Structure 1
Amino acid sequence: MIRRAAAYLDERGIEQARREARLLFELAYGREVSWQLTHADEIMPETELFSDFVRRRGAGEPMAYLSGRKGFWTLDLEVTPDTLIPRGDTETLVEALLRNRPDRHSVISVLDLGTGSGCLLLAALSEYPQAVGIGVDRAERTARQARKNAKLNDLASRADFVVADWSDPLNTRFDVVLSNPPYIPKDDIPGLMKDVVAYEPGAALDGGDDGLDAYRQIIPRLTELLQPEGLAILEFGIGQEDDVANIAHKAGLSVVELCADLAGITRAIVLSR
């Protein structure tokens, strides 16, 4: 079964097809890879569920949407096609926050703009036990999913989620503002991997003509959203650091740090008033 599934996935351009086939088997049968390796001679019926998973993965549907789960930082999150799938690159923002605010009692309030699955806000709250936070998203279904993830990770009592256009309804200041806004230039979206273009929410990808529309909305408001000693940490796309830094300078903000991901690619900016 796994050999046939791997061959099918490989023919359809799925990378690491053998590994993907094992993960789909685990998902359908509840049998981990270690069990598969030690019971390879057992006869098992091929279920419709397994066949369906293989077909859907072969068509490009992301594994996270098939399983409905995705790990981020130390959290286990539920994801749906209403939310962007959390990625390891975004953990760069959490690392930057911990590096710049190492005292775990120094952060009391956190704002997450474009919260999606809630991954950034919930990761921050998990590291700062006295903090409370607000996640903002323009889609009600997305905010509902973030609320569910807060409950799944025992953080619901410290997290609230608001449906709004960025920070429009907020009139308070925060110790930390986090955001992973849309940053893909509109004309570049069709060239992304098919599992991204066909399945992930387009509104979470589309950054306008040059990919910077969201930054022009978010950054000028940071002087009103940040406490005097507060920090804002924003993710951006490859090669966008200078443009985002220029928007920040024009808004009267200082660049504290540019942060690279594990591949050495600059992916986040730390700003202060």
Structure 2
Amino acid sequence: MEIGQLYRSVRGRFREAGLETPDLDARLLVSAALDLPVSALLLQERDPAAPEAVAQAERHAHKRLAGMPVGRILGEREFYGRRFLLNEATLEPRPDTETLVDAVLDRCGAQEAPVICDIGTGSGAIAVTLLAERPLSRMVGVDLSEEALSCALRNAELHEVADRFVPVCADYTSALKPAADCPLGRGFDWVVSNPPYIRTSVLAGLSREVIQHDPILALDGGEDGLAAYARIVADAAQLLASGGRIALEIGYDQAGDLKKLLRHHDFVAIEIIRDLSGNNRVALARKR
């Protein structure tokens, strides 16, 4: 079988199954099976595909048609132009979360060496990206899962920022000292997080790609979807230096609740940032 025939065969089945992005999924899975760049599917479409590569592509296709996301099949996902490894304890980083990274980078301004805390770091996609984009920054990545932290550390090593990344296994920020007791002499410049924010009652209605393959711990935001925010905002008020900022990914309908919560903890300069689809996606605020 030629490479082009293999790709078109997989693509056709994905289209017939009604997958959301059949062409892209087919390109990624077939090129991975062939161990070729995506561009080679066209440039080398008349070359023969090795039988073992064809068999691997068929295994990938079978898993995708069974509902497994491409990132889970390949064990990695692109985020902010970088490759991130995944494991069972981590969420797949979504493009919408790049809005949070952009918001933080845009507001760092001349602050070249911010000290940041990423709560619920998971794969480390946010933390590692910020470290890579701000080469003098330092990061504490907190997660309750040791398996997730292991993945985050591997990604930090992959992108050569591990010397500035400190993984901490803890329930939220229970292992961190408040700003007044911080050995740095001040608190964090930023607290960032993409916490679980889906209402418990909504979980059962999520797509099988999400509910069967993403860790529930990283999805379930409690009865009102605000449980994690209440803890993170309260903790951030203690951890941030004066004038420090908080940046949180939020659900499309949670802006009003987050504004109230941030005001309650004496945060000011509150902003709600929309993603490329026009949905509310990030809440930003500054500590007095």
Q: TM-score, normalised by structure 2?
A: 0.89
Distance in 2 separating the partners of 1:3 and 1:123:
35
1:148 is the counterpart of 2:141: no
Distance in 2 separating the partners of 1:22 and 1:92:
26
Give SS of 2:167's match.
strand
Instruction: Tell me the residue number matched to 1:117.
Output: 123
Any idea what the Cα deviations from partners look like across 1:195-228, whole Å, max 9, x if unmatched? 1111111111110111111011111122211000
Any idea what the Cα deviations from partners look like across 1:87-113, whole Å, max 9, x if unmatched? 1111111211122221142x4311000
Unaligned runs of 5+ in 2: 1-5
Give SS of 1:254's match.
strand
Q: Count residues in correspondence.
A: 272
Superposed displacement of residue 235, structure 1: 0.6
Distance in 1 separating the partners of 2:27 and 2:96:
25
Give SS of 2:248's match.
strand
Instruction: Tell me the residue number matched to 2:245.
Output: 231
Q: Is the 8 A contact 2:128 2:161 kept in 1?
A: yes
Q: Which one of the candidate residues 153, 162, 168 is aligned to 1:162?
A: 168
Q: Does 254-263 or 216-225 show the bigger shift?
A: 254-263
Give SS of 1:110's match.
strand
Q: Is the 8 A contact 1:135 1:161 kept in 2?
A: yes
Distance in 1 separating the partners of 2:121 and 2:96:
15
Superposed displacement of residue 45, structure 1: 4.9
Give SS of 1:22's match.
helix
1:91 is the counterpart of 2:98: yes
Cα 1:119–1:34 change in 2 (3 A) is closer
Instruction: Tell me the residue number matched to 2:286.
Output: 272
1:137 is the counterpart of 2:143: yes
Any idea what the Cα deviations from partners look like across 1:155-210, whole Å, max 9, x if unmatched? 11000111111011110320111000000111111222221111111111110111
Matches within 5 A, 1:25-44: 25-44=30-49
Give SS of 2:212's match.
helix
Matches within 5 A, 1:65-84: 65-84=72-91
Instruction: Tell me the residue number matched to 1:128.
Output: 134
Q: Is the 8 A contact 1:232 1:272 kept in 2?
A: yes
Q: Is the 8 A contact 2:259 2:270 kept in 1?
A: no
Q: Is the 8 A contact 1:74 1:123 kept in 2?
A: no
Give SS of 1:160's match.
strand
Distance in 2 separating the partners of 1:258 and 1:268:
6
Distance in 1 separating the partners of 2:100 and 2:23:
32
Unaligned runs of 5+ in 1: none
Q: Is the 8 A contact 1:230 1:272 kept in 2?
A: yes
Identity %: 33
Report the AA paired with residue 102 of structure 1.
Answer: G
Instruction: Tell me the residue number matched to 1:54.
Output: 61
Give SS of 1:199's match.
coil
Instruction: Tell me the residue number matched to 1:196.
Output: 210
Cα 1:194–1:221 change in 2 (3 A) is same
Q: Which one of the candidate residues 221, 240, 246 is aligned to 1:207?
A: 221
Alpha-carbon RMSD across the aligned residues, in angstroms, is 1.6
Report the AA paired with residue 199 of structure 1.
Answer: H
Superposed displacement of residue 13, structure 1: 3.2
Give SS of 2:136's match.
coil
Superposed displacement of residue 129, structure 1: 2.3
1:19 is the counterpart of 2:24: yes
Instruction: Tell me the residue number matched to 2:12.
Output: 7
